[in-house]
Structure 1
Amino acid sequence: MNWDDLRYFLALARLNTVSAAGRDLGVKHTTVSRRIKALEQQLKTRLFDQLHYGYALTQAGENLYPHAVIMEEQAHSLDRNILGLDSQLEGRLKLTAAHDVFSRLVIPHLGLFKRAYPKIDLQLLGATGLADLSARQADIALRLTAKPPDNLIGKRVLPLTLGIYASKKYLDSLDDINHPKDAVLWQDEQIPDWLNQHFSSCNVTVRANDVTTILACLNNHMGIARIPCYLGDSSPELRRIDIPLSPSKWSVWVLSHVDLRATARVRACRTFLIDIIKGQENLISGLQSQYYR
């Protein structure tokens, strides 16, 4: 069975519509439909039922799915092993990180990397979710995490420090800094200890599902929030409130798949990222904080 045919099968099985599968594979939706029909004709069985909400696997499709997943992992493993033999400081290199990590910690320093390695085609994949390094969605990940996946190798560069921040304008408007009226939390976050302990009379007025939105709320004077110090301290309008917080269990990690440990351009980029993160220790650790007085 042709692995390339199974790529279309897996994309449609996971995404349920030919348009979404086409976007994922970088082809037209008509190509997806044509390849699925060809695969069904080859196997002499129907793999999908077309329903009002999209495509659903038939029993034959359900039976094929786990075998297709095994072939997918074998193909990705072969791809990683071939890349792992690469000793050249040139070619495509995909780096993934959250949007705020890119904008505050990485991009201001990327000129140094491009001047040092002009033949590396660096691709930045900003995302709120986690790219799958096993599937070669990215070659290197710069992640904020408490514990990286076991199938990745890398380095814990620095611990992540968090602080309670608000805009100076918002804090100036308060009668008492110890009694702010508004808090911004994560979308599904329970009321955190720091809010109960230090600002028990504060109301949760906004929730958001990413830190960039929370930062925008703070910069628009909508209350207080706990954010990483590298964001709060690099935002001129924000001030840190001087209260004790439990240390974060999260750290800044530079990660890649174990199969890519010998690839020259991956090693070069990992070393570069570790160096620039270490060079921003004061910012990441909150030692540059402007406390509200």
Structure 2
Amino acid sequence: MPTAASSIAWDDFRLIKAIAEARSLPAAAELIGLNHSTVFRRLGQIEEGLGTRLFERHRSGYVPTPAGEEMAVLAERLETDIAGFTRRLAGREILPAGELRVTTNDSLLVELLTPLFAAFMTQCPDIKLDVLLGNQALNLSKRDADVAIRATDNPPENLVGRRVAQIGWALYGRATDFPEGAPSDQSELTQQRWISLGDQFSNFKVVQYRQKHIPADQTVYKLNTVLGLAEAVEAGIGIGFLPCFIADKRPALVRLAPPQTGYAADLWLLTHPDLRHSPRVRLFLDFMAQELARLRPLMEGSPIGRENTEAPSPAEA
């Protein structure tokens, strides 16, 4: 005859894990999409069924007992196993159809990827894209996303993929402020008003250059997104380093210095090893690699990319 303990459901494990992570019932309820009273009631039912207390209620929040901690650890392991099982099933799918979750950042999406996504969906109408924006890498091991398109010099070791290009960065100003182009004496540029990514992006070489060579009071405008940099330069706020694939498409901007290899970032197409043989993942990766390869001159800021600033449509390939 089954006991109360033997009838614990997966949702019970999820609830205990959420409380252990959040340390409060309202926050745990938000994590799993329930209301506070439901979480309170279910926690009481689980503890009663197990005949043991899973959390101690302190002023600082809900602290798991040894039994609660063990249950939360088991829930994490179950979640990992379930995610692995679904990944392996997805990797054995027969037809390239269904939903594909792609994570990238806003600047890549707006300035580069959207036309390519549209072309892919025209070619593969049975595949639907769910695009997730963010500068932080999602957990592909847990199927937060199937494919990541990232600018990084250090892709996660647990993922597989291919480097399709380098994203070049160069110094730009507003063309009307520099009618003769870049000044012959480059030292004049250090006296200009500057715009830049914020200091939280100090892993970027262009930010390191600004921090080292430009007086702090001359950096008049900082952003926490690459997407707004070109608009700031175009508005005349100051000069600054911009990705070439964004700036070279804007006639109102002029290069003040050529791209430097040390400022470039690698552009990667990444997926989990269990998904790389999935037809829809493979189809998407192959398509994007081919299309991004055509745009490599623009992304890398080569003279070809500077002369042909319009990204060609797939039909022109």
Per the alignment, residue 70 of structure 1 pairs with 77
Matched, 1:133 2:140: yes
Q: CA 1:2–1:201 in structure 2 vs 1: closer, same or farther (change >3 Å)?
A: closer
Query: Any conservation in 2 of the 1:168–1:238 contact (CA below 8 Å)?
Result: yes
Per the alignment, residue 151 of structure 2 pairs with 144
Per the alignment, residue 156 of structure 1 pairs with 163
| Residues in 1 aligned to 2:227 and 2:53: alpha-carbon distance in whole angstroms | 45
| RMSD, aligned α-carbons | 3.1
Matched, 1:242 2:254: no
SS at match of 2:140: coil
Residue of structure 2 aligned with 1:43, choices 26, 47, 50: 50
Per the alignment, residue 296 of structure 2 pairs with 281
SS at match of 1:83: helix
Amino acid in structure 2 at the alignment position of 1:180: Q
Unaligned runs of 5+ in 2: 1-7, 308-317
Matches within 5 A, 1:1-293: 1-49=8-56, 55-168=62-175, 177=189, 179-189=191-201, 192=207, 194-195=209-210, 199=214, 203-243=218-258, 245-248=260-263, 250-287=265-302, 288-289=305-306
Q: TM-score under structure 1 normalisation?
A: 0.84
Percent of aligned pairs with the same residue?
28
SS at match of 1:227: strand
Q: Which moved more, 1:139-148 or 1:103-112?
A: 103-112
Query: Any conservation in 1 of the 2:197–2:225 contact (CA below 8 Å)?
Result: no
Give how far 1:93 is off.
1.0
Q: Which moved more, 1:119-128 or 1:238-247?
A: 238-247
Give a deviation string over 1:50-75, Cα, whole Å, max 9, x none.
56676444444334332222222111
Give a deviation string over 1:220-262, Cα, whole Å, max 9, x none.
3322332322222234433322156352363110011000122
Q: Which moved more, 1:109-118 or 1:213-222?
A: 213-222
Amino acid in structure 1 at the alignment position of 2:198: W
Q: Which moved more, 1:4-13 or 1:154-163?
A: 4-13
Query: Any conservation in 2 of the 1:152–1:256 contact (CA below 8 Å)?
Result: yes
SS at match of 1:121: strand
| Residues in 1 aligned to 2:290 and 2:263: alpha-carbon distance in whole angstroms | 22
Give a deviation string over 1:120-152, Cα, whole Å, max 9, x none.
121111112211100100001111111211211
| Residues in 1 aligned to 2:45 and 2:230: alpha-carbon distance in whole angstroms | 50
SS at match of 2:262: coil
Q: CA 1:47–1:92 in structure 2 vs 1: closer, same or farther (change >3 Å)?
A: same
Query: Any conservation in 2 of the 1:49–1:57 contact (CA below 8 Å)?
Result: yes
| Residues in 2 aligned to 1:278 and 1:111: alpha-carbon distance in whole angstroms | 17
Q: As a proportion of its length, which structure holds more helix?
A: 2
Give how far 1:283 is off.
1.3
Larger radius of gyration: 2
Query: Any conservation in 1 of the 2:17–2:73 contact (CA below 8 Å)?
Result: no
Q: Between Structure 1 and Structure 2, how many residues are aligned?
A: 289
Q: Which moved more, 1:29-38 or 1:223-232?
A: 29-38
Query: Any conservation in 2 of the 1:93–1:120 contact (CA below 8 Å)?
Result: yes
Q: CA 1:58–1:218 in structure 2 vs 1: closer, same or farther (change >3 Å)?
A: farther
Unaligned runs of 5+ in 1: none
